[in-house]
Amino acid sequence: MSFRNKMVLAAGALAAATWAAVGLAGNNGFQQQAVGGVAVDAQGVVANSTVDELNKLRQLRVEAQTPVPEGLAGKTALRKVSLKRLGAELKKHVDADKKLPDDIRYLSGLQRIQYVFVYPEENDIVLAGPAEGWKVDEMGNVCGKTTGAPVLHLEDLLVAFRSAEELAGGRVTCSIDPSKEGMARLLTWIKAQDGRLNNDARTTVTTIEETMGPQNITFTGIEATSRFARVLFAADFRMKRLAMGFERSPVPGIKSFLEMASGGDMFPRWWLTTNYDALLKSEDGLAWEIRGQGVKAMTESSFFQANGAREKTAKVDPVAKRWADDMTKQYGALADAAPVFNELRNVMDMAVVVALIQKEDLAGKATFDASAFKSPTVPTSQLNPPKTVPTQASFIKKASKTILSASGGVEIRPSQVLEKIEMSKSLAPVRLDAAPEATAWQWWWN
């Protein structure tokens, strides 16, 4: 299987300008979503869209947006959100069959969850972090007015709460993999070439795409129809495009794996996973700080048997690892330039926070009723679940090795994050300063 040319196969390498939309789920439902530039049709097939469709989607979001409430428009280092009071607001809107306002849907403009504070005297848990007013950007994303960083979405938090047990004790994953049958067909075709490639590059590429066929998208621990799941898929999709050179990196420090490789591993596999520093905990266990970048890229080599079954090798190709390390090192800059990677960090933050509340029984310590977040009373988006993505290959002359990137994904393991905890004396005063005012029934405050 040694060729004079290199073929590069990327799972689902489609045009960057794609979109995803879902209709309103009743009066309390969530409006059309644009997640990481990914479109999925009714059959679950990832597909392209046009610039006109993107513009139309953005226009719909702009028209649906209401003015940012006074007090939320400015940028602040620490905005606080009372889960008790937010839950009451949710119930009020559900009972009245009223659409949720933007300030609730976007969690008052929070852009990360940095702190979790427990207030037993108020029967409340408060989330706190940087925040600002929001706008709709050119791709239809809801982001901060000054930083351009995505804001948190209430529905992602709801999905996390409804998956609390899975998050606390297991993992949430998204994976894109070639079908066993498709890989078997490809290996048979490669063997039949006997070291020779068709001089017509386009014919070779088309043959690879048709031989491999569609690749499968699977989820564990999360509803495939949720916006949360779509973020996981969209981030993995974009990572593969960057790795295999189908999309130019917006960050100079991240080259494509294609540019870096000169042979080596035939089946490199990359995935994104949690990457947090040790959590900080106050001595009384009522204040917690979430720290660290949140996300890192990992890699391993794969081996495919003749029947198409994949086996983990526990080996790491040095060039593939260098690419993963570069992405991890530059993740902050990449997230600023490509919002879907910030969105991924946002849902990972929520997963860690909900797992923390579950594992440490913070709701029990606060006598806090989380039913408003766990109950399906407030419907979340029901997006078309991504099931398959077409294979797209490219062909370049470089070295004498075939390189195929046909699998990968995203893995969230909150339980591993919660294993690293350090005590901190500095958190108690921060918690006291952030306490809700008993006389003012407002669900957020600066």
Main-chain dihedrals φ then ψ at residue 62, nearest 5 degrees: -65, -45
Q: For the residues 297-315, what does the mean pLDDT come to?
A: 72
- Gap between the Cα atoms of 221 and 23, Å rounded: 24
Q: What DSSP line would sit under 76-105, residue for residue?
A: EEEEEEEHHHHHHHHHHHHHTT-PPPHHHH
Residue 2 pLDDT exceeds 50: no
Q: For the residues 321-346, what does the mean pLDDT come to?
A: 94
Residue 173 pLDDT exceeds 50: yes
Nearest to 82 by CA among 27, 126, 25, 51: 126
Give the angle 108-139-59 at the CA atoms, nearest 5°. Answer: 80
Q: Token pair for residue 318? A: 């040095």
Q: For the residues 170-199, what does the mean pLDDT come to?
A: 82
pLDDT tens per residue, range 47-56:
545 556 666 7
Q: What phi-psi label fits residue 283: left (phi over 0), alpha (psi between -120 and 50 degrees) or beta?
A: alpha
Residue 304 pLDDT exceeds 70: no
Segments making up each domain of the chain, as ranges: 6-445
CA–chain centroid gap for 33, Å, is 14
Beta strands in 185-232 (DSSP E): 215-220
- Contact yes or no for 44/57 (Cβ under 8 A): no
- Gap between the Cα atoms of 355 and 379, Å rounded: 21
Task: State the chain's maximal CA–CA distance in angstroms.
Answer: 79
Q: For the residues 307-317, what does the mean pLDDT come to?
A: 70
Residue 282 pLDDT exceeds 60: yes
**Helix 201-212 with 180-193: angle, nearest 10 deg:** 150
Runs of H (alpha helix) within 290-426: 318-329, 331-337, 339-359, 362-366, 371-374, 414-417
**In DSSP terms, which residues pair with 445 in a beta bridge?**
80
Sorting pLDDT into bands at 50, 70 and 90, what band is 226? very high
Q: What phi-psi label fits residue 350: left (phi over 0), alpha (psi between -120 and 50 degrees) or beta?
A: alpha
Would strands 124-131 and 115-119 be described as parallel, antiparallel, or unpaired?
Answer: antiparallel
- Gap between the Cα atoms of 191 and 184, Å rounded: 11
57-61, 241-245, 441-445: which has the highest mean pLDDT?
441-445
Residue 319, Cβ neighbours under 10 Å: how many?
18
- Full-model pTM: 0.88
